[in-house]
Amino acid sequence: MTALRFPDVPRGRLPRRFPVRHALCAVPLVLVAVAAVRHRSVLAEGFGQLRTASWPWLLAAAAATCLTWVAAACTRQGAVVQPLPKKRLLVTQFAAGAANHLLPTGLGASAVNLRFMTVCGVPPARSSAALALYLLAESVGRLGLLAALLVAFPDALRPGTLQPAGTSAEPPLLSGGSALVPAVAGALVLIAAALAFVGRLRRAVCAFLRDALGEARSVHTRPARALALWGGSLAFPACQAAGLAAVGRALDLPVPPAHMALAYLAATVAVALVPTPGGIGSVEAALIVALVAAGGPAAVATAVVLAYRVITVWLPLVPGAVTLGALVRLKVI
């Protein structure tokens, strides 16, 4: 009888049955479970609002949400000269959305896309430059849409409706300006001092700026890339705002759709610097305040925001986390 032979295993060591990559695949699902438990009351109320809403408008909101991933893929491709695999790029944006809701705002999607570009053969310096160009274009697109809507509908937001009678009319930001201005000035002085006296940091920043400017020039010499970059950066916040407007119509919020879009853009710009995972908590509060300022009743505005966040955040979160784990296992990212 032929003797069975087993691979030699070094003494004192066991074979690796659970590679690190397999363990990382489960991390997104664990984070989703933790987030769902922490926000279970919001989830229950949000799903309750969906039961009473008009389904055609909810489907329109879901379609607008899906289009945001297409817009993000277009903008990502427009930010880099090297062509990226289209299908994998689109799937990566879906997975990056889940990562963005599980980590502080912007970090999850940025990390996923930076890794994706590196795997696709884009050099690290150009990947970082493309990421910076994407963030710049997305910010310019969001602020540009907000400015255009403010010009078109200057009376859409009425902050005075949020202010109790007898209180000061001075905005909180201005009332605390005496403390805010020195803090901002001090931070700018510290940054300038660091760049002036730390040579290695200064050289690294200068090299990054050269790479970023070079990548931006290369992108804008190609009309297709420039169109994808700026078209996608405008379409992304427009689709998000359209989704909120559709949910508002589904729940009969008495606010014009254009005013709801303006409220959405104003709220997201206001909370852009709040380091919470996916803006969970801060975005809801800002959206409710903005919709009330646009003329909506507080109770209906709260229902609209909860239903909107369920459609755009919580429903895609589990499949997005599964997709993220699959991309990690398949070494796409």
Of 48-57, 99-108, 150-159, 165-174, the poorest mean pLDDT is in 165-174
Average confidence (pLDDT) over 64-68: 96
Predicted pLDDT at 165: 40
Predicted pLDDT at 108: 81
State pLDDT tens for residues 258-272.
999 999 999 988 887
Question: What gap in Å lies between CA 260 and CA 238, rounded to an integer?
Answer: 12
Alpha helices in the chain (DSSP H): 20-38, 40-51, 55-78, 86-102, 107-119, 124-152, 172-175, 177-197, 199-220, 223-250, 257-270, 282-293, 298-309, 315-329
Q: In percent, how much of the chain has pLDDT > 90?
A: 36
Query: Residue 71 in contact with residue 232, Cβ under 8 Å?
Result: yes
Q: In percent, how much of the chain has pLDDT > 70?
A: 68
Query: Residue 75 in contact with residue 236, Cβ under 8 Å?
Result: yes
Check residues 136 and 196 and name the one with the higher pLDDT: 136
Q: Model confidence at 3, in pLDDT bands (50, 70, 90)?
A: low
Nearby residues of 166 by Cβ (< 8 Å), 6 or more positions away: none
Question: What gap in Å lies between CA 33 and CA 297, rounded to an integer?
Answer: 33
State pLDDT tens for residues 77-93.
999 999 999 999 999 99
Question: What gap in Å lies between CA 45 and CA 243, rounded to an integer?
Answer: 19
Residue 200: both structure tokens together: 């290695």
Check residues 71 and 198 and name the one with the higher pLDDT: 71
Is residue 278 exposed (0-12), middle (13-18) or buried (19+ Cβ within 10 Å)?
buried
Residue 25: both structure tokens together: 């695949």
Is residue 304 exposed (0-12), middle (13-18) or buried (19+ Cβ within 10 Å)?
buried
State pLDDT tens for residues 11-26.
545 445 546 555 555 6
Predicted pLDDT at 164: 40
